[in-house]
């Protein structure tokens, strides 16, 4: 062994440091994934439904489907 | 009379094994290796219960004697030798990774491939024809009916079809 001593390693507060790191990381990761889902999936879906129903006419839709012959009780005359 | 006969049998069996051994001149039973404290290379056990080397050679005995004097008299090699007597692997050697993951990954892929061969063989030699509802004509008619019914018109299949131009949306 050489005459120079190695620097004394960190002896205390090891768990505290690890915990701080992981608590912060877990918080950030979960918030990020929630935000990504909200703005990547949830909001576009809500917008798609809103857009669809803005110009939706159920009676016209019914007449089209009837004409195509998909209804058993409402055949195309 | 019967009771006294039973009692004598019980009495004979109640003498312990070690007592019998000692009576015949055996002494204490030799302690098995696994019952004694053992050496272990573990990250969470920095100082194992016994030293690594159990039976020291003459040279190592001499070194152990020298250790009883001042440690600054020991050379670096002697210090390392003393360490190796006490411990098997250093922490660095203990924690060193292996190449085992390559073997594992290789084995996994090999067996996946073997499974694939089995599946191909089954499809070719064992299974009969698939249902007629998978033919091109049937699938086209099926899709047309789904579009007529306006299945999933908001985000699904009917949203991908352009009903005015009668084609899939670009």
The model's pLDDT over B28-75, given as tens digits with 9 standing for 90+, comes to 888 888 899 999 999 999 999 999 998 999 999 999 999 999 999 999
Is ipTM over 0.90? no
**B156: chain A residues, CB-CB within 8 Å:** none
Q: What is the mean pLDDT of chain A?
A: 94
Is B156 in the A-facing interface, judged by CB distances under 8 Å? no
- Chain B residues in contact with A61 (beta carbon < 8 A): 150
Q: Which residues contact B74 (CB under 8 A, 6 or more apart)?
A: B66, B67, B82
Helices B58-67 and B76-86: angle between axes, nearest 10 degrees:
110
d(CA B99, CA B72): 40
Cβ distance B150 to A1 less than 8 Å, yes or no, reads: no
Q: Is the pTM of this model over 0.95?
A: no
Asked whether the predicted pLDDT for residue A30 surpasses 60, the reply is yes
Of B148, B149, B155, the CB nearest to A45: B155
Share of chain B above pLDDT 90, in %: 78
Give pLDDT, residue B151: 96
Q: Do the chains contact at A61 and B145, CB–CB below 8 Å?
A: no
């Amino acid at each position: 062994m050489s005459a120079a001593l190695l620097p004394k390693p960190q002896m205390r507060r090891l768990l505290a440091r690890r915990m701080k790191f992981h608590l912060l990381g877990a918080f950030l990761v979960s918030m990020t994934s929630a935000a990504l889902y909200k703005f990547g999936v949830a909001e576009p879906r809500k917008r798609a439904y809103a857009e669809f129903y803005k110009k939706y006419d159920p009676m016209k839709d019914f007449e089209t489907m009837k004409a195509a012959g998909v209804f058993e009780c409402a055949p195309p005359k | 009379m019967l009771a006294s006969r039973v009692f004598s049998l019980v009495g004979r069996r109640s003498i312990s094994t070690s007592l019998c051994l000692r009576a015949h001149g055996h002494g204490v039973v030799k302690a098995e290796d696994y019952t004694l404290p053992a050496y272990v290379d573990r990250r969470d056990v920095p100082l194992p219960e016994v030293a690594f080397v159990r039976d020291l050679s003459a040279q190592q005995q001499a070194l152990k004697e020298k250790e009883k004097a001042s440690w600054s008299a020991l050379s670096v090699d002697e210090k390392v030798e003393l360490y190796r007597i006490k411990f098997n692997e250093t922490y660095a050697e203990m924690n060193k990774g292996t190449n085992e993951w390559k073997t594992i990954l290789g084995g996994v892929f090999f067996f996946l491939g073997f499974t694939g061969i089995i599946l191909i063989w089954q499809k070719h030699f064992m299974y009969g024809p698939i249902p007629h509802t998978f033919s091109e004509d049937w699938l086209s008619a099926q899709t047309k009916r789904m579009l007529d019914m306006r299945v999933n018109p908001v985000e699904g299949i009917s949203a991908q079809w352009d009903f005015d131009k009668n084609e899939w949306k670009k």
